[in-house]
Amino acid sequence: MTGRTSTRRTAAATTAALAMAAALITGAAAAPAGAATAAVTCSGLTTLSDPGVVPSPQTAKTATGSTGTAQVRYGTYNGKQYGWARTTDHNSNDLYIKFEIDTDGDRDANCSYYRLATGRTYTSAKATHSSSDVAFRACLLYNGGFDCDAAVTKTGWW
């Protein structure tokens, strides 16, 4: 073994020992190299454009307010579970049903879908995910460009 190789190995061992000591002091868990978790993205969740084809859908969340009723629905199609938004009633032909998707756990929408509620009473669907960071909510809005925080009728996150 050359002096240069020995120095590199010693430096690598010292760096690893310092990282382990820092983790112990701060209470952080040491993760193996290359074990970074992949973030969930909206584009990484499969889209189902017409969840009307899902047999026996169920309702996860419902909110009823002065603008009508919004729901987060879910069901399994071709072996994959999806979630979407729908309205069962709305009090204006100018209302949009909106479906918001949070992918990073902060309960702020990272992507969304909306439709004029009179054209079709439900949105496109997104595949659910095993990560608790991924959540869905539904709302009724007069302007589909706003987020559900501005809605009078909105569900909680599911």
Residue-wise pLDDT for 70-88, tens only, equals: 999 999 999 999 999 999 9
- Are residues 30 and 46 located together in one domain of the fold? no
**Same-domain check for residues 76 and 150:** yes
46-55 residue pLDDT tens: 999 999 999 9
* Distance of alpha carbon 73 from alpha carbon 85, whole angstroms: 6
pLDDT value at 10 more than 90: no
Give the largest CA-CA distance in the chain. Answer: 81
Name the residue among 58, 60, 79, 81 with its Cα closest to residue 127.
Answer: 81
Confidence of residue 39 (pLDDT cuts 50, 70, 90): confident
The reply to whether 88 and 108 lie within a common domain is yes
Shared domain check, 144 and 100 = yes
Burial class (CB in 10 A: 0-12, 13-18, 19+), 87: buried
**Do 63 and 112 reside in the same domain of the chain?**
yes
Residue 52 and residue 86 in one domain = yes
Token pair listed for 129: 């995910």
Predicted confidence band at 119 (pLDDT cuts at 50, 70, 90)?
A: confident
Are 119 and 61 within one domain? yes
* Mean pLDDT calculated for residue range 150-154: 95
| Residues of the domain holding 108 | 42-154
- Residues 111/42, Cβ–Cβ less than 8 Å: yes
Shared domain for 71 and 13, answered yes or no, is no
Residues 69, 18 within the same domain: no
Read off the pLDDT band of 30 (50, 70, 90).
Answer: very low
The pLDDT value given to residue 154: 97
Q: Is 70 in contact with 153 (CB distance < 8 Å)?
A: yes
Cβ atoms of 70 and 139 closer than 8 Å: yes
Distance (Å) of CA 16 to CA 10, 23, 25, 56, 65 = 10, 11, 14, 54, 57
Do 48 and 110 have their domain in common? yes
Same domain as 113, residue 80:
yes
Categorize the per-residue pLDDT at 6 as very low, low, confident or very high, splitting at 50, 70 and 90. very low
pLDDT at 4 over 60: no
Task: Please report the pLDDT score of residue 74 as a whole number.
Answer: 98
* pTM (2 d.p.): 0.76
Which of the four pLDDT bands, split at 50, 70 and 90, describes residue 24?
very low
**At 5, phi and psi to the nearest 5?**
-65, -45
Q: Do 50 and 17 lie in a common domain?
A: no
Per cent of the chain over pLDDT 70 is 76
Structural domains of the chain, count = 2
